[in-house]
Amino acid sequence: MDNKKILFSGVQPSGSFNIAGYIGAISQWVKMQEKYRCVFSIVDYHAITVKQDPQTLRQQIKEMVKIYLAAGIDPNKSIIFQQSSVSAHTELAWILNCCGARMADLNKMTQFKDKVGANQESASVGLFDYPVLMAADILLYSTDLVPVGEDQKQHVELARDIAKRINNQFGDLFVVPQAVIKEEGARIMSLLNPDNKMSKSDPNQNNSIALLDNIDLAKKKIMKAVTDSGTEIVYDKEEKPAIANLLTIYAQLGNREIPRLVKDYKGKGYGDFKKDLAEVVAKFLNDFQDKYNKISEKEVENVLREGARRAEKIAKSKLDEIKKAIGVK
């Protein structure tokens, strides 16, 4: 076995995956495949923490595999698998629920509070417990690094806390993982309201651009994106959050540096800038969708089958270790 560090991350197969998740998470995974041993999951048991239509969910699981592949995740280098096909995830989640996670931890989770708002009483228990399943995902693979967007930082912190508690009580069972968050692009904001993060569960689809959006529609969304007062293209997250967000999208999808873009657009207006950004987004989507459309159903099936086999082997042996340590085996 080589001594490469281990990296784990995942995306829920819920809603239409958008450029924010691509920029914040998947784009960094692709680059990390050479350096680390990577495991990427389609976390369907996380998706069912909110209501899903079974037929649509089935479709979206396959869609996510194609998105991973089209983005450049290579199944010969990395493990790609569906979370529910490796039962060790839910088994370990239960053990962590009992032996590591505390009510006080989960009560602090901001994503749960943001998601349920005033409707806490009707939220599923799974949605509340979601971060513990995420900790199980991470800890099962002896993960060193977890590349995610900024919104997931708190969940990775929880995985660290749980790992340390269990190690203290039962001996050194878990590697304590670390989140990897990009300096730029870790929090892409909504196109119409730059105070909110771009999110695939946002009911207003004009706030985000999905990777599979129709290209003309995507261009229109950019042209309709809100801008700040004033006319100058400058990067100032506090004073000009909308333009700062659009500059980040431009830089990330167009492979450009923000200071260079600011220089190039000196003296030009928002209209010119948005027109060019629309072209950058269109080119990115075009290239992406070309690759996506070439991936067959058969390939998806093969990737999932082989991924489940490889993931299961690692996860099962870790789970057995834990079961012995806590006294159930």
Residues annotated as catalytic (active site), given as ranges: 115, 197, 200
Token pair 């159930």: residue: 328
Binding residue (CB under 6 A) for ligand ATP from 12, 27, 207, 252: 12
Enter the tokens of residue 163: 């790992």
CB 8, CB 143: distance < 8 Å:
yes
Q: Looking at 148-156, 218-226, 275-283, 308-316, which segment touches ligand LTN (CB under 6 A)?
A: 148-156
307 touches ligand LTN (CB under 6 A): no
**C-alpha to C-alpha distances, 222 to 47, 200, 203, 286, 300, nearest whole angstrom:** 28, 16, 17, 15, 32
Partner from ligand ATP, ligand LTN, none binding residue 274, C-beta < 5-8 Å depending on class: none
Token pair 């995610």: residue: 148
Q: Looking at 7-15, 32-40, 209-217, 290-298, which segment touches ligand ATP (CB under 6 A)?
A: 7-15
Q: Rounded to the nearest whole angstrom, what is the least distance from the CB of residue 157 to ligand ATP in the complex? A: 13
The residue whose Cβ lies closest to ligand ATP is: 24
Distance CA 297, CA 30 (A): 22
- Identify the burial level of 326 via C-beta atoms within 10 angstroms of its C-beta, where 0-12 means exposed, 13-18 middle and 19 or more buried: middle
185 touches ligand LTN (CB under 6 A): no
149 touches ligand ATP (CB under 6 A): yes
Which of 258, 221, 254 shows the shortest CA–CA distance to 237?
258
141 vs 273, which CB is nearer to ligand LTN?
141
Binding residue (CB under 6 A) for ligand LTN from 46, 219, 221, 240: 46
138 vs 261, which CB is nearer to ligand LTN?
138
Which of 54, 64, 51 shows the shortest CA–CA distance to 21?
64
12 touches ligand LTN (CB under 6 A): yes
Binding residue (CB under 6 A) for ligand LTN from 8, 17, 112, 273: 8
9 touches ligand LTN (CB under 6 A): yes
Q: Interface mask (CB under 6 A) for ligand LTN, residues 109-138, using x and -? A: -------------------------x--xx
Enter the tokens of residue 59: 């479709």
109 vs 225, which CB is nearer to ligand LTN?
109
Binding residue (CB under 6 A) for ligand LTN from 80, 148, 218, 246: 148
Touching ligand LTN, residues 228-287 (CB under 6 A): none
Q: Rounded to the nearest whole angstrom, what is the least distance from the CB of residue 294 to ligand LTN in the complex? A: 26
Enter the tokens of residue 103: 């009510």
Touching ligand ATP, residues 13-42 (CB under 6 A): 15, 20-21, 23-25
- Write the CB contacts of 303 (distance below 8 Å, at least 6 apart in sequence): 65, 69, 75, 80
Give bridge partners of residue 146 from the DSSP assignment: 179
Distance CA 202, CA 193 (A): 11
Q: Where do the DSSP E strands lie in 174-292?
A: 178-180
Pairing between strand 79-82 and 178-180?
unpaired
199 vs 245, which CB is nearer to ligand LTN?
199
69 vs 148, which CB is nearer to ligand LTN?
148
Max Cα-Cα span within the chain: 70
152 touches ligand ATP (CB under 6 A): yes
Binding interface with ligand ATP (CB under 6 A)? 11-12, 15, 20-21, 23-25, 148-149, 151-152, 186-188, 197-201
Q: Which residues bind ligand LTN (CB under 6 A)?
A: 8-12, 43, 46, 134, 137-138, 146, 148, 152, 155
